[in-house]
Amino acid sequence: MTDVTAAKTSPVFDESIVFPSAILLSAFLVFSLQPIVGRLLLPSLGGSPAVWTTSMAFFQGGLLVGYAYANQLQRIGSIRLQILSHLAVLIVAATALPLQVSTVLGDPNVERPALWLLITLLISVGAPFAALSATAPLVQAWYARTRRGEAADRTYRLYAASNLGSLAALLGYPLLLEPIMTLTGQRWLWSAGYAVFVVVLVGLFLTVRARAVAQVPTASTVAPAATWRRRALWTALAAVPSSLMLGVTSHITTDVASAPLFWVLPLALYLGTFIIAFGDNRISDDRLLSIQVVLVALCLSGMYFSEDNFVLQLLIHLAAFTACALACHMRLYSLRPDPAHLTDFYLWLSVGGVLGGGFNAFLAPVLFTTVIEYPAALVLACFALAAAGNLKDRRLLALWAIGIVAAAGAPLIAALRGYDEAAVLGMRLCLLACVPLAFLVRRARLLLVSLVAALAISAFSISDYAQGGAVWRNFFGVVTISDVEDDALSGDVRSMTHGTTLHGAQARNPEIECRPLVYYAPATPIGQVFANLQSRKPALSVAVTGLGAGSVAAFVRPGDRMTFFEIDPLIVELASDPFYFSYTTTCARGAVDYVTGDARLTLARTPAGGYDLVLFDAFSSDAVPTHLLTREAIGMYLSKLRPGGVVVLHLSNRNLQLRDVAIASAEAAGGVTLLQRHSPTEEDSLLWESASDVVLVAKSREDLASFSGDPRWVAGDSSGARPWTDDYSNMVGPMLAQLFENLDL
């Protein structure tokens, strides 16, 4: 039997409004907090994609704390007392407001950046985030307790409503909030929203207080608790899409920019799959598996062998991720317990989220030298539906085993062929062959998925990432150093690749080893600037943001001094080791110094008027550290110049057209600009000279006079672009501008 406290008055508010409102608003606040805080913290750690990955792992941990607290709060018999207790927790957590990033720890420790980031997040937003995170399962449990006569599915649909509020926050932030509001305004708006939520929860308390409230049900009316095996399955099915979400986010942001637009797209799709899986819309397992295998095959076949249009690759990756996450979440929904155990269910979902996100953020960089966790999670997700109902079929298990053995031999065959073009083409065709098989061989689902898994490993083994060379991985990304034979340079060329982007190369031929290559060759805009300044000044003081292989150190003459401002200690170690590169040691004939830490923070501490040249060349893979291209950042660079000095902004990028916004930001900082779009001749390209976009910035036209007479340099034109500031940046415009430029529109 269930004890019931009789109500003496009618409800103060309509329950059909107050319950969903509380869930929607709390979810909106939880998921709008994440991109706001990510934007606030990004400049401190060089704009690395790992900032968001680590932050997401923290937020998943905060979600776990909130869900565990909600599960414990359910032990209190009275719903009214639960609500009052939760209100008290929310009010105590409000002492961390207004929203801001704590400065207690000072500047980041680049040797242990993840630890600094986690502690800073805990101090800054840990309490309000955990308190808000507990609201969704609590409100659902309260609804289930007050409406036990209704269908259980209606309670779970409130979870879909929660994810709808989260989705609105994530899509609204990059499309509406970020483009029109400064970070300061965003902080205060969020803090005001928190106060409104407390008022809504008071309304919920008054509504519950005014009606009959079911107390804790007796043991005879409650369905049995889930077994530990079932909880482990919940955890695994939640962990895989969580890992996938961070994997696809890192893959995207590594080559574009670590910015809210590219953070929230995967997270929004992740939440959208919850809405579909926990709502009324259902997709058959067979149909979803077919779609899933097709998309995973397309994704894997393009991941290692294709440099196709970024937008196409982006769509394929997001579609594959969505299908995989939906498969896992639909399986979760099919395994949901009675609403009496709802908070236990969400607690283990949260444990899975923490395990998946924590693996990507903390374990994978230590265990793997390449980002293999992402394709591995894609393949694992295929088993969420594939394993259902087929494990007892011995014939399928036999086919499964044969398929694994056969496909696992593909890397050996490819190795025997020397990883030639035929082997690469064969592996790609095998992956693409899974597309028709996904629709024609539905019963042999385990065989099909296993083939995809084995072929994915094979694809990885013959990809550019696995074709020799030394590989390192840390918080800031994956660094590869490899040698390539080049007849034009009469020997090998040693290159440094960060992520998927070349960050410097050096000829191993002793006769030309000190000739800078790629973006820094003598005929490039950067080479021209050094030649110009050195022809006019007997000694130069140069600041360089971003080290790479240290190519520009080859320009250092006796009497010159060059200081590299580099956030990644690993890059400093590699570039200064003559075993790998000798630009900064043998080739540089003057002093070369290194300062570790974010260039914006460390360069700002140097004396004003100390440099003849400030070279901006800081990229994480091909991603843009936006905080280094704002009006305030460029103004700081200008303040460091001596009379006649210049700032060089190296803006080459595959996916973003940065010229307009950089010129707009420089002019907003009071600078004047010149632009050069350099394209090497066919002969120069054979000598490893690269095309590049470079903007020159100076305090006055007089400082650019020696460049203005050179027809290769033209006056800068921002084309009406809005300058970036520390309070505002927008990735949509540069991405669309690059897309239109590629299409010649």
What is the distance between the alpha carbons of residues 700 and 702, in angstroms, rounded to a whole number?
Answer: 5
Are the C-beta atoms of 362 and 57 separated by less than 8 Å?
yes
Are the C-beta atoms of 89 and 135 separated by less than 8 Å?
no
Are the C-beta atoms of 51 and 111 separated by less than 8 Å?
no
All domains of the chain in start order, with CATH = 10-215 (1.20.1250), 525-742 (3.40.50.150)
pLDDT of residue 164: 74
Using a 10 angstrom Cβ sphere, with 0-12 exposed, 13-18 middle and 19 or more buried, the burial of residue 740 is: exposed
Residue 518 DSSP label: B
Give the contacts of 637 (CB within 8 A, at least 6 positions apart).
Answer: 603, 614, 616, 647, 697
What is the distance between the alpha carbons of residues 252 and 509, in angstroms, rounded to a whole number?
Answer: 36
Residue 43 DSSP label: G
In order, the DSSP letters of 276-299 are HHTSS----HHHHHHHHHHHHHHH
The 3-state secondary structure of 61-117 reads HHHHHHHHHHHHHCCCCCHHHHHHHHHHHHHHHHHHCCCCCCCCCCCCCCCCHHHHH
pLDDT of residue 579: 93
Q: Which helix (H) or strand (E) holds 415?
A: helix 410-416
pLDDT of residue 247: 84
pLDDT of residue 465: 44
What is the distance between the alpha carbons of residues 125 and 121, in angstroms, rounded to a whole number?
Answer: 6
What is the distance between the alpha carbons of residues 707 and 701, in angstroms, rounded to a whole number?
Answer: 10
697-735, pLDDT tens digit by residue?
A: 999 999 999 998 899 999 988 888 889 988 787 777 787
Are the C-beta atoms of 371 and 50 separated by less than 8 Å?
no
pLDDT of residue 714: 94
> How many C-beta neighbours within 10 Å does residue 378 have?
29
What is the distance between the alpha carbons of residues 259 and 723, in angstroms, rounded to a whole number?
Answer: 16
Using a 10 angstrom Cβ sphere, with 0-12 exposed, 13-18 middle and 19 or more buried, the burial of residue 701 is: exposed
* 543 φ/ψ sector (left φ>0, alpha ψ -120 to 50, else beta): beta
Residue type, 331: R
The 3-state secondary structure of 190-207 reads HHHHHHHHHHHHHHHHHH
Nearest to 347, CA basis, from 86, 65, 128: 65
Residue with tokens 């790479």: 548
The pTM assigned to this predicted structure is 0.69
- 586 HSE (CA, 13 A, CB side): 15
Using a 10 angstrom Cβ sphere, with 0-12 exposed, 13-18 middle and 19 or more buried, the burial of residue 433 is: middle
- 10 HSE (CA, 13 A, CB side): 2
Nearest to 42, CA basis, from 253, 320, 337: 253
What is the distance between the alpha carbons of residues 465 and 500, in angstroms, rounded to a whole number?
Answer: 9
Residues of the chain short of pLDDT 70, as ranges, are 1-16, 42-49, 110, 145-161, 163, 208-223, 254-262, 279-282, 285-286, 301-310, 384-469, 500, 619-624, 742-745
Q: Is 557 helix (H, G, I), strand (E, B) or coil?
A: coil
